[in-house]
A and B are shown apart, each in its own frame.
Chain A
Amino acid sequence: MMSRPSTLALVFAGAIALASCQEGSSFTSAPTPTPTPTPTPPPTGATFNVEPCLTQMVRPGVTVAILFIPDTLKLDFSQPSLFPNGRALPDPVIDYTLAALFLDLTVHPITTLHSIPLGPPANDRPFRSQFPWLAPPQGNPPLDQGLGRNFDIRTDPASAYVRVDRMGMPALATALISGANRIPYNDDDPAVDFTFKWVPEIQGNLTVLTNALADDFDRAGLAICAEPEA
């Protein structure tokens, strides 16, 4: 897919900047503490109600809230296999997620930001058309040759292991769970999500983001799903 060059710029500073925002530079440079951003008052005092965002439909029968809570990828065989119905390898999940969270989907299709495109529109390597689907590794890394027979694979029960990470929906934990809650959120599971334990957290963070971004979407000519508070 051809992509148009697009330079978007923003100034962003605030308490929501997370230490978890890793751009991978840790692989190429020494770890450095993430500087604490200087809080700056919002440009406007506008506050928004994001409930219309959580209750809008992203695909038939599925609201934004249902999509994110519980934190699972959800797949309906009666609908096309395209995010947010499951997650296929080529799907531009971030652009679609941002559209679902911020835009009024009755006005703008979920493809709106991807159609710009906002981010890079596709992977840099074509995916395979059959199993294993993912593209072969790039460069010339040392690869196993498919040898060996008697592998020392553990047979310990799952109870002998301690959770490190969990993930269902892309970007959810990163975008809508604040730093202090990342570990407790990570330690939960969909059954706990289903008690709506994390709804206030998700709704609160989405509100903060919406309050900050609303005027910018407005200037972009995009209708948002959130409604101004009376």
Chain B
Amino acid sequence: MREELTEAQRQSLEHSNRLAQELLDRDWMALGVTQEELDQDRLETQWIYTEMDKGRNLEDVLKELDEKIDGEIADKPRRRRTPKAPAPVRS
């Protein structure tokens, strides 16, 4: 069930959400996590809950997510490693 929102309600919710996300993300970003990765986390969480709302249990949904991510990693072209230069020999 969706409620009809007034413009004022929408603005309050948006502002509150911005504050919450800034505070939630701050510490992860300090550890080097990017905004894009954090946004991707939120999308993943939303997808998991949508699947659970279809009647699936958490374990099954996470298993599917694992398989998806593993598949994406396997599909990525592997970068060729540049061989390391030999260490200089001390004379």
Partners in one complex: no
List chain B positions with a Cβ less than 8 A from chain A: none
